């Protein structure tokens, strides 16, 4: 599926219908991210909660591709800035982008783009490549998040506060996203054989 995405499989050929289709994907994807954000658990010694957001981001990237996934994440962030309770713990507001977790939120955009771009290059053809693809997307979230978090807690403490407690959960989310993406690929391939 090089240079293609699952989203393109069902995109209408008529331009107006294609625009509406893309709009629905962006809205639906942003709602999916918002719902996953509500699976959140506070960590006592860190301002960064454990959430389902990263799972939603890498899965959205893999399914929608670089362009559509980036637009979806930007729409999600704009919804939160506009006052919709889409961030973790049903929070909202521009202040979250400038607070300790702001780097993670901003990091969702490059993470979705890179995951989507890798999917477009055919990285989703095997379980191992898909796992690496999802892992790279997740790593980008951490890089952006830790860089920003270090401004609040210093570079000496940021790994203990913003990385180590989240690695087990990140691994589980990467595995789940990998299984869902490769499973859907197998289902579509099976259906195409029958046609």
User: Tens of pLDDT along 29-49?
Assistant: 999 999 999 999 999 889 999
> Running DSSP on this structure, what letter comes out for residue 84?
-
| CATH number of the CATH domain containing 27 | 1.10.1760.20
Give the residues of the chain that fall short of pLDDT 70. 1-3, 190-195
The predicted pLDDT at position 12 comes to 87
Tokens read off for 163: 């990385």
* Domain-embedded: residue 145: yes
Number of structural domains (the chain) is 1
Q: How many CB atoms lie within 10 A of CB 44?
A: 5
Predicted TM-score (pTM) of the model is 0.92
**Which residues touch 146 (CB under 8 Å, ≥6 apart)?**
103, 158, 159, 162, 163
For 7, 14, 154, 161, 170, the CA distances from 135, given in Å and listed in that order, are 21, 36, 25, 20, 9
Helices (H) and strands (E) in the chain, counts: 8, 2
* Domain-embedded: residue 1: no
* Domain-embedded: residue 90: yes
Residue range(s) defining the domain that contains residue 126: 6-194
Q: Are 114 and 158 contacting, i.e. CB atoms less than 8 angstroms apart?
A: no
Q: What is the CA radius of gyration of the chain?
A: 17
Tallying the residues shown for the chain, one arrives at 195
CA–CA distance, 93 with 102 (Å, rounded to integer): 11
């Amino acid at each position: 599926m090089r240079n293609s995405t699952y989203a393109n499989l069902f995109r209408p050929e008529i331009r107006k219908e294609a625009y509406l289709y893309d709009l629905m994907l962006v809205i639906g994807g942003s709602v999916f991210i918002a719902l996953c954000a509500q699976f959140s658990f506070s960590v006592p010694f860190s301002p960064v909660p454990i959430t389902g957001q990263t799972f939603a981001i890498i899965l959205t990237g893999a399914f929608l591709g670089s362009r559509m996934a980036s637009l979806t994440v930007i729409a999600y962030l704009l919804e939160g800035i506009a006052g919709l309770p889409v961030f973790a713990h049903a929070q909202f507001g521009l202040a979250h982008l400038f607070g300790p977790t702001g780097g993670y939120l901003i990091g969702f955009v490059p993470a979705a783009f890179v995951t989507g771009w890798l999917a477009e290059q055919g990285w989703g053809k095997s379980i191992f490549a898909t796992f690496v693809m999802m892992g790279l997307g997740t790593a980008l979230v951490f890089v952006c998040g830790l860089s920003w978090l270090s401004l609040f807690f210093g570079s000496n403490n940021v790994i203990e506060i913003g990385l180590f407690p989240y690695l087990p959960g990140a691994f589980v989310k990467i595995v789940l996203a990998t299984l869902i993406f490769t499973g859907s690929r197998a289902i579509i391939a099976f259906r195409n054989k029958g046609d």
